[in-house]
Amino acid sequence: MLPEAFCRRYMHLVWERDVSVLPVWERWLVWAVRIAHVLVRDLASGDLNLRAMSLVYTTLLSIVPLLALSFSVLKAFGAHNQIRPMLLQALAPLGEKGVEITDRVIEFVNNIKVGVLGAVGLVLLFYTVISLMQKIEDNFNFIWRVHRRRSIARRFSDYLSVIIFAPVLVFAAMALSTAALHTDLVQAMMQVRPLGSLISLFTDLLPFLLVIAAFTFVYVFIPNTRVRFHAALGGAIVAGVLWQLTGWIFAAFVVGSAKYAAIYSAFATLILFMIWLYAGWLILLLGSSIAFYLQNPRFITPTAQRVLVLSNRMKEQLALAIMAVIGRHYYARQHPCDIECLAAELGAAGELVEPVAEVLEARGFIERVEDPDGCYLPAVPLDDTPVGELLDAIRSAEEGVNLSLEQLRTPAPVNHTMERMEAALQEVVAGKVLRDLMDETAVPDKPSGTQS
């Protein structure tokens, strides 16, 4: 345990001071220490470690089908020979073991004949790849506190677009950068001392910059929520630095791991590959966590705040407020609200708003438009739907066949008290409809046509 005096001093310097009045350099230093604190806390909780290990298992099952699809796409562009150099670069820290693994994987990929697989085999091939992408999305959604997956249609369209176009874009970026560096103009500029040094530096940094660009794309695209570019870029830069540092450390470890090869024999290569996969996925998840905290600084707290729990009265008030905001946007003919818009208007965290909105959607009060924003519209006539119906829906949201009030053996006085409370509530909301929840000054006449 750390000394109590040190802990008090640490809390004062890092968490209790107002960073807005600090010098810029000290402000950035405090924020960096705070983010490092919450990352260490997340690692200590074990969630990221378990998810990285689960992704290792899924990757082992899916890497050959994934590369087979990429191979087929690149083959159409005459660039299928680029898979091996990219794999060698990704597995470079494994040294000779990386070359061995690359050759074996390429051999497996070459053995897959799409025409021989048949319809069932082709479906299983796509299913394996889609399952990997879905597993990755689930882990990123966990980090971003997102409870809803993409719809099935969006899963297939989004995942397949990445699987098909990502290899082409990566190859195009590498080819264009290589071609640009070998043009006559660039070669002439390299003869000038300052410019030549800068171009050489850029050439050395190009693989690192491509890694950062790839990580940024992953952080923006994979989570089923809107990720701001600056947050994704910040997480990608840190993850890229960790990737390079880990690669150097792992390469040194592999060089001195002769005794492990003697112990594990033929399994040594597989074990080293799994360790490197684990390190890579853990770095990728850590970068996503950094992006999350950069976009949601309210979660940067000295104590764990993984799950926020709503009280019963907050659920009821939040449900009424969500309905009011969605209705106001509808009647004012404004752009419909998504979760982020609702959270901003209500001053609540998105992970608190989303479960309540899901209950309202499941009970048929609102409907979610399946566009890239996932916006909400009213699904019931606001002029005719009683407020009491919405309150009943949100109060009984968790009840079901195996969990209901009828199953409770409560004393008669308790039942009587609850009946009086229900009667009082119904008296308060009697005659009120959902449109009454909105600000009357902000509600124009009802637009022509009926709501769905």
Give yes or no for residue 451 having a pLDDT over 50: no
Q: Same structural domain for residues 72 and 212?
A: yes
Q: Same structural domain for residues 136 and 24?
A: no
**The domain containing residue 363 runs over which residues?**
312-442
Q: Same structural domain for residues 103 and 210?
A: yes
Residue 440: pLDDT band by 50, 70, 90 thresholds? low
Q: For a pLDDT cut of 90, what percent of the chain falls above it?
A: 10
| Arithmetic mean of pLDDT, 6-31 | 79
Contacts of 353 (CB under 8 A, 6+ apart): 318, 322, 339, 342, 343, 346
Among the ranges given (62-76, 222-236, 351-365), the one the predictor scored with the smallest mean pLDDT = 62-76
Q: Same structural domain for residues 376 and 433?
A: yes
pLDDT, one tens digit per residue, over 261-289 is: 666 666 777 788 888 889 999 999 999 99
pLDDT, one tens digit per residue, over 214-256 is: 899 889 988 888 889 999 999 999 999 998 888 888 887 777 6
Position 228 in a domain: yes
pTM exceeding 0.85 = no
Supply the pLDDT for residue 256. Answer: 66
Q: Same structural domain for residues 51 and 36?
A: no
Least Cα distance to 86 among 278, 214, 199 occurs for 214
Supply the pLDDT for residue 181. Answer: 59
The number of folded domains in the chain is 3
pLDDT, one tens digit per residue, over 194-213 is: 766 676 766 767 778 888 88
Position 451 in a domain: no
pLDDT, one tens digit per residue, over 113-144 is: 655 555 666 677 777 888 888 889 999 999 98
Q: Identify the CATH number of the domain in which residue 345 sits.
A: 1.10.10.10
